[in-house]
Amino acid sequence: MLVLLHLFALFLLVLLGFYVFVADPRSRANQTFAAFIAFLALWTTKDLIFWNFYDAGIRAGWWAAASFTIALLMQCALVVFAWVFPENNRTPRKRAAILFAPGIVLIPAGFLGLLWHHASYENDRFVIDLAPLAYIFVAYVYFLFFYGAFVLYRKYRKHKGTQQGQQVGAILWGLVITGVLKTIANIVLPYVGVYTLLPFSSIFVLPGVFVYAYAISNFRLFSLQSALDQFRLFPIAYKIALSIASVAIASFLIFQVPIVWWAFQGGVTAEGWRRYLVFSVVSALVPNLLLLLLVVRTISRPLQRLTVAAVQVTEGGYGTEVDLRKSNDEIGLLAESFNEMSRKMADDIESLRAMNEKLMRADKLAAMGTLAAGVAHEVNNPLAAISSLIQMMRSENVTDDIREQLAMIESQIQRITRVTKDLTDFARTRPGAKAHIGINGVIDTALRLAEFDSGFQKLKIVRNFSSDLPDVFADADQMQQVVLNMLLNARDAMPDGGELKISTRKSSNEIAIEISDSGEGVDTKSAKQVFDPFFTTKAAGKGTGLGLAVCYGIVTAHGGRLELAQNGGRGATFIVILPVA
C-alpha cells in the first residue's frame, strides 16, 4: 500500500511541476516552483526506496543525509520564490550568497555523517540518534522557512486587496499547511520516539503543494476555464511529454512485462538475464522509432514547411502561405500568424506599389504642368502676332490661291491654339469654386452638350442613375469638364457607333460615376500610362494626350480618385470616385 502511495505522490508531483513550468517557462516564479517540485520529487523517491525496499540490516545514514540536504534545498527554493514572486523580480545574488552560505558547511557535514551518531533499523524499527550539529541544521532550515514566509507576508500586506495579494495569501496558507504537517511527521513525533508517520511525510506535503501551484497559476489550476484554454492552445511541450509518457507506458506494458515474465519464469538465472537484456534492447527500438516519428510529425515537418515558406517570402514571394493542418499548439499558431503576416505583407506591398504609381503620376503632372505653362506662354504670343498678320493680308487684294493658302495657315494656327489652350488648362492650378452640387445634374448637362456632336449621336446611351445620391462638395464647371471629356473619349473609342453606359451609385461615404463604352478597350500596357500627360492611343493629329491627365488632376484635387477598369476586351470603364459632402 505504501509503495502505491509513494508512486501516486511522485506521479502527481512530476505532473504538477511540469504543468506549472510549461504554462510560463520564462517566469521566475514558475522556474522556482519547478525547482521546488524537483527537490520534493527527490524526497519522495528517497522515501520510496528506503521505506519500501529496505534491508533490516542496512544502515540508514544515506537516507538521513539525503533528507537533511533535500530539506535545506527546498527551503532555499522557497526563499528565492519569496524574492521573485509576484513581481517576477531578479534574485538578489549578494543577499542569497550571504543567506545560503551556511549550507556550504552543513550539507557536506550531512554527507560525512556528522549530524547523527547512528541511524539504522533495529528489530524492524527505525532508530536515529542525532548529534548536536543536527539541531543546528534543523534550526537553520526553519530559519529559512520562516524568513521566506516573512518576505511573502510583507508582500501580502503590500498587495492586499489585489489579485496578487490573493495569490500571496493563498501561498502563505499552503506554507502553513506544509509546515505543520512536515513538522509533526518529521520533527515532533520522531523527537518523542514515534516514527510511524515518517514514511508518509512526502505524501502529507501534497495539499500545501497544490495550494502553492493553484496560487501561482492565477487560481486556475485544473479549473474548467484552464482546461478550455489548454484546448484552445495546447503547448507543444505538453504534446511531446504526453507522447513520450504514452509510448513509455505502452511499451512497458506491451513489451517489458511479457519479456520479464518469459525471461525469468525459470528463476533469476544468468540465462534469464541474457534473454532479458537481448530482447529488451530489441523491443526498445520500436518505441524509439515511434517517438522519432511523432517528433518528426509534430515538430520537424511543420518547421521545415515554415522555413521553406519564409525563404520564399524573403525571395519576393509575398503572399506565400504555409499549408499545414490546423493545430492548437505553438507551431499551429505560428503558421496561422505567418500566413496572416504574409497576406498582409502582399496587400501592403500592392498598396505601396499603387501609391508609388500615384506619386510618380503626381510628380509627372506637376513637372509637365510647369513645362506646359511655359510652352503655352511662349507659343501664344507669336501665334497672336502671326494671326494678326494673316488677317491683315486677307483684307488686301490677293489672288484666290494666296487667299486659300492663308486660310490653310489660319486653320493650323487655330489647331495650335487649341493645343496651347489644353496646355493652359492642364497647367492651371486655380482652386475651384466649390459648392454642394448634385452629380446627376452635372452629368445631364454634360450629356446635353455632347449630344450636339454628330459622332456622339450615333451612340446608344444607357442611363442608370441612383436617385438617392447625396451632394458632393465640388466645382460644377470642373466636374462637367471631367464628365464631358470622358464622354468624348468614349465617342472616339466607338467611331462606328456603340453602346455608352453611364451610371452613378453610392458606396459608404463616397459616390461613384461609371462611364463604360463598347469600343476596343485599353490594353494592359497602355492602361498603366493612360493618365500620363501627352500619352494617347489616338492617331497622330487626333489628340494631345492631355484630356485624361487634366481630368485626373481635377478629380484628385477634389479628394477623389479616377480609375480605369477593363471590361474583358469589350471596351473600357472609367470610374470617378468622389467623397460625399
pLDDT at 533: 65
Stretch among 11-20, 69-78, 426-435, 503-512 having the lowest mean pLDDT: 426-435
Q: Residues 365, 354: one domain?
A: yes
Q: Residues 246, 321: one domain?
A: no
Where is pLDDT greater, at 374 or 127?
127
Q: Residues 149, 57: one domain?
A: yes
pLDDT at 56: 55
Q: For residues 439 and 463, what is the distance between their CA atoms, to the nearest angstrom?
A: 13
On whether residue 227 sits in a domain, the answer given is: no
Q: Residues 362, 477: one domain?
A: no
Q: Angle between the 28-52 and 2-23 helix axes, to the nearest 10 degrees?
A: 170
Q: What is the CATH number of the domain that holds 92?
A: 1.20.1070.10
Q: Residues 112, 210: one domain?
A: yes
The answer on pLDDT for 14 being more than 50 is yes
Phi and psi for 274 in degrees, rounded to 5?
Answer: -60, -45
The answer on pLDDT for 48 being more than 80 is yes
On whether residue 228 sits in a domain, the answer given is: no
If we measure between CA atoms, which residue out of 115, 139, 130 comes closest to residue 65?
115
CB 342 within 8 A of CB 313: yes
Stretch among 130-134, 393-397, 517-521, 557-561 having the lowest mean pLDDT: 393-397
User: How much is the CA Rg of the chain, to the nearest whole Å?
Assistant: 45
On whether residue 257 sits in a domain, the answer given is: yes
pLDDT at 95: 92
Where is pLDDT greater, at 289 or 429?
289
Q: Residues 311, 299: one domain?
A: yes
pLDDT per residue as tens digits for the range 468-515: 888 888 888 788 888 888 888 888 888 788 888 899 988 878 898 888
On whether residue 352 sits in a domain, the answer given is: yes
pLDDT at 425: 60
On whether residue 226 sits in a domain, the answer given is: no
Q: Residues 28, 73: one domain?
A: yes
Highest-pLDDT range among 145-149, 321-325, 541-545, 551-555: 145-149
Q: Residues 282, 369: one domain?
A: no
The answer on pLDDT for 72 being more than 90 is yes
The stretch 519-532 carries a mean pLDDT of: 71
Q: Residues 89, 131: one domain?
A: yes
The answer on pLDDT for 542 being more than 70 is no
Domain boundaries, position 542: 430-579
The stretch 295-312 carries a mean pLDDT of: 81
pLDDT per residue as tens digits for the range 324-373: 777 777 777 788 888 888 888 888 888 887 777 766 666 665 555 566 66
pLDDT per residue as tens digits for the range 453-464: 777 778 888 888
Residue that finishes a domain, picked among 281, 315, 349: 315
Contact residues for 59 (Cβ-Cβ < 8 A; gap 6+): 118, 119, 120
Contact residues for 14 (Cβ-Cβ < 8 A; gap 6+): 37, 41
Highest-pLDDT range among 407-411, 420-424, 442-446, 511-515: 511-515
The 3-state DSSP class for residue 308 equals: helix
**Percentage of the chain exceeding pLDDT 90:** 10
Q: Residues 207, 351: one domain?
A: no
If we measure between CA atoms, which residue out of 165, 184, 178, 240 comes closest to residue 207?
178
Q: Residues 467, 333: one domain?
A: no
On whether residue 393 sits in a domain, the answer given is: yes
Q: For residues 184 and 209, what is the distance between their CA atoms, to the nearest angstrom?
A: 17
Q: What's the pTM value of the predicted model, to 2 decimals?
A: 0.54
Residue that finishes a domain, picked among 192, 221, 250: 221
The answer on pLDDT for 146 being more than 90 is yes
pLDDT at 224: 46
pLDDT at 229: 53
pLDDT at 360: 67
Contact residues for 143 (Cβ-Cβ < 8 A; gap 6+): none
pLDDT at 232: 57
Q: Residues 92, 104: one domain?
A: yes
CB 131 within 8 A of CB 116: yes
On whether residue 339 sits in a domain, the answer given is: yes
Where is pLDDT greater, at 484 or 59?
484
Stretch among 115-129, 157-171, 354-368, 435-449 having the lowest mean pLDDT: 354-368
On whether residue 355 sits in a domain, the answer given is: yes
Q: For residues 457 and 448, what is the distance between their CA atoms, to the nearest angstrom?
A: 11
pLDDT at 265: 82
Q: What is the CATH number of the domain that holds 338?
A: 1.10.287
Where is pLDDT greater, at 98 or 236?
98
pLDDT at 342: 87
The stretch 291-309 carries a mean pLDDT of: 79
- C-alpha cell, 510: 463616397
Number of domains in the chain: 4
pLDDT at 303: 82
pLDDT at 34: 86
The answer on pLDDT for 23 being more than 90 is no
The stretch 305-319 carries a mean pLDDT of: 85
Q: For residues 22 and 115, what is the distance between their CA atoms, to the nearest angstrom?
A: 38
Q: What is the CATH number of the domain that holds 436?
A: 3.30.565.10
Residue that finishes a domain, picked among 404, 429, 454: 429
